[in-house]
Amino acid sequence: MANLEPVQLSGTVVKRASLHNKDQMDLLDIHIGDYVYVEKGGEIIPKITGVELSKRPADAQRPVFPACCPDCGTPLVRDPDEARHYCPNQESCPVQIKGRFIHFAGRKAMDILAGEATVEMLWSRGYIHTLPDLYSLTREQLISLDGWQEKSADNFLASLEASKQVPFERVLYALGIRHVGEQTAKTLARHFGSIDALMAASRDDLVQIEDIGGTVADAILAWSASDAARDCVERLRAAGLQMAVADTAESRLSDKLEGKTVVISGNFSISREAMKALIEAHGGKNAGSVSGKTAWLLAGEKAGPEKLKKAEKLGIPVISEADFRQLIESE
């Protein structure tokens, strides 16, 4: 990330812009103090696209890319097939551990009342180190936190209890397996049905699944083989979390979207999460980007121009919320 002198861009003041990775920094030949060209990628994210070399100071120096993790000191590594560097010290790097808790507690994961500040307090007190530690927290420990009272503690404990009913696909996503995002977790949950079947899968089993490539398969295998992952799963299972897909036959509303992939964009009369759930309740599959496999782009108000453009280019039908409801409600 580059720090910039504040500049007005597309109606907002931009102070930082993405440099993506070391390869991009080298490609741009970026130096400290450079005058740079900035644009908003997709009209949202500021990024540096070039350097004005005529204004570069004679003594300008290149930024030094870190060799070690700035938090734990572990040497950074880079996978051959990826551009980004990362810290491999997953089990002991404080930033990664705290980040894992924040991800686990997120709204799309376990939906626990544990934001960044709460995680920081629990970590600094030594109350949590691995994910299952959340389910061992006591009311007394929570009340001892700065600014917490009985009601705060009770609400937190209630969110923990409610998380035990979160479906397996979200539990799988919450575990934070490298390269396993929200949609991939759903795909894996549907295919294997349980955490045990997933952890017993071979590489061949994994790469035969649609949208699961070698990189994702290798990440899953590495995670499954680790003692830490196995211990985490068993402790979370003992805490009462869902480690298998529940029988959803009765909750399926219809098969009208069976085998169809839908991409949504924009705002609807219901939340985006509710719209995704509705698609799945009728047998459909959600995807985050438009591709040749997309059946429809479901466009609400203020739909993303890039997705609309991609759909037009690929000849993907664009339907409104009214069209969609007529589709799923038709006899």
pLDDT in tens, 166-222: 999 999 999 999 999 999 999 999 899 999 999 999 999 999 998 899 999 999 999
Give the rounded distance of the alpha carbon of 163 from its chain centre.
Answer: 18
For residues 234 and 172, state if they share a domain: yes
| Secondary structure (3-state) at 327 | helix
Residue 285 resides in a domain = yes
DSSP secondary structure string for all residues of 107-127: TTTT--S--HHHHHHHHHTT-
Q: Which two tokens stand for residue 162?
A: 């409610």
Residues, the chain: 331
Inside any domain, residue 85:
no
* pLDDT above 90: percentage of residues in the chain: 65
Average pLDDT value over all residues in the chain: 90
H/E element holding 197? helix 195-199
Q: Which of the listed residues 24, 39, 55 is the one where a domain comes to its end?
A: 55
CATH number at residue 318: 3.40.50.10190
pLDDT at 271 exceeding the cut of 80: no
Q: Are residues 211 and 159 in the same domain?
A: no
Residues 181, 209, single domain; the answer is yes
Of 67, 85, 71, nearest to 20 by C-alpha is: 85
CA 82 vs CA 100, 109, 214, 263: distances in Å: 21, 26, 13, 26
Q: Are residues 120 and 144 in the same domain?
A: yes
The separation between CA 288 and the C-alpha centre of its own chain, rounded to angstroms, equals: 11
Using 50, 70 and 90 to split pLDDT, how confident is the model at 252? low
The pTM assigned to this predicted structure is: 0.70
User: Can you read off the two tokens belonging to residue 23?
Assistant: 């390869």
Give the separation between CA 229 and CA 214, rounded to whole angstroms. Answer: 20
| Domains in the chain, number | 4
pLDDT at 81 over 80: no
Mean pLDDT check: name the lowest of 41-50, 193-202, 282-291, 303-312. 41-50
Looking at residues 227-250, what average pLDDT do you find? 87
Residue 39 lies in a domain: yes
**pLDDT at 253 exceeding the cut of 80:** no
Does residue 206 fall inside a structural domain? yes
Same domain? For 99 and 158 the reply is: yes
b/e for 214-244, b at 16 or more Cβ within 10 A? eebbbbbeebbeeeebeebbebbbeeebbbb
pLDDT at 42 (0 to 100): 64
Average pLDDT value for residue range 114-138: 96
Asked whether residue 172 falls in the same domain as residue 235, the answer is yes
Helix, strand, coil in percent for the chain, rounding step 5: 40, 15, 45
Range of the domain at 189: 168-239
pLDDT, position 27: 87
pLDDT digits (tens, 9 = 90+) for 59-71: 999 988 889 999 9
Q: Which of 104, 131, 163 is the last residue of a domain?
A: 163
> Are 183 and 158 found together in one domain?
no
Q: Domain containing 106 — which CATH number?
A: 1.10.150.20
List alpha helices for 226-320, DSSP H: 227-239, 272-281, 305-314
Find the CATH number of the domain harbouring 11. Answer: 2.40.50.140
Residue 248 has pLDDT above 60, yes or no: no
Q: Is 81 inside a domain boundary?
A: no
In a shared domain, residues 159 and 192: no
User: What's the confidence (pLDDT) of residue 151?
Assistant: 93
Same domain, 189 and 225: yes
Amino acid in position 324: F
Contacts for 92 with CB less than 8 Å, ≥ 6 apart: 72
Say whether both 185 and 218 belong to one domain: yes
CA distance 102 to 164: 17
Q: Are residues 149 and 183 in the same domain?
A: no
Strand partners, 18: 47
In a domain, 298, yes or no: yes
Q: Given 177, 207, 239, which residue is the final one in a domain?
A: 239
Give the containing element (helix H, strand E) for 221: helix 214-225
Q: Tell me the residue type at 191.
A: H
Per residue in 132-142, pLDDT tens?
999 999 999 99
Distance between first and last Cα of the chain: 53
Task: State phi, psi for 312 to the nearest 5 degrees.
Answer: -65, -40
In a domain, 247, yes or no: no
Asked, for residue 223, whether it belongs to a domain, the answer is yes
Over the Cα atoms of the chain, what is R_g?
A: 23
